[in-house]
Amino acid sequence: MVKSTTRALSEVLDQLEHTLEGENVSIEALVNGLGSHAFAPLMLVFALISTSPASSMPGVTSVVAITEFIIVVQMLAGRSTLWLPAFISHRSLAKNKLCKGIAWLRKPVHFVERFLKPRLTMFIKPPWIYLPLVLILIVTPCMLFMEFIPMSGSIASAAIALFAAGLLSRDGLLVVVSIAALATLPLLIWYLGFA
């Protein structure tokens, strides 16, 4: 299980890297590698995949959007382990692209970790934690259409990653930043798509 430390993000990447075997890696293997009970690390991993160069694989943004939606629904329902439908869990991703994505993420993750620390922890507990979760429920269905707007899916995933990183590091300030990012996301996407 990933510990809630300021290195929690790097630890998630380390765990993810250790799960990569064979030419293709199934979503089920990623979930099993990180632990089906580890909702925040799983949310972070899928968001980072869609933020990294691995998002260039066709359909990745849609798979990530559906997976994040399911994760949040089960978090709100109070489930202790994650369940994913077969059409998601049996989906495979190319190992070489995932490895490139992880390598690309290392530098920004290390930079962000320098500023993370437990603070404003009220925002990672009820009732405040429900606000970003509901915003993610609103944003993720929209991500299905973001495949057609360059960069938009990655921006949405980055906002979700901020929230997951805040949970992992117990940094309420980062959760507040993610709330602001998620709330302003529709305006940003509209600008990218129609301006």
Q: Is the pLDDT of residue 105 over 50?
A: yes
By the 10 Å C-beta count (0-12 exposed, 13-18 middle, 19+ buried), 133 is classed as middle
Read off the pLDDT band of 6 (50, 70, 90): low
Average pLDDT over residues 144-173: 88
Read off the pLDDT band of 23 (50, 70, 90): confident
Q: Is the pLDDT of residue 5 over 60?
A: no
Q: Is the pLDDT of residue 153 over 50?
A: yes
Q: What percent of the chain has pLDDT over 90?
A: 53
Q: Is the pLDDT of residue 1 over 50?
A: no
Q: Is the pLDDT of residue 2 over 60?
A: no
Residue 67: predicted pLDDT: 94
Residue 37: predicted pLDDT: 87
Residue 123: predicted pLDDT: 94
Nearest Cα to 120, choosing from 163, 173, 179, 181? 173
Residue 193: predicted pLDDT: 62
Task: Give this prediction's pTM.
Answer: 0.88
Residue 53: predicted pLDDT: 76
Read off the pLDDT band of 128 (50, 70, 90): very high
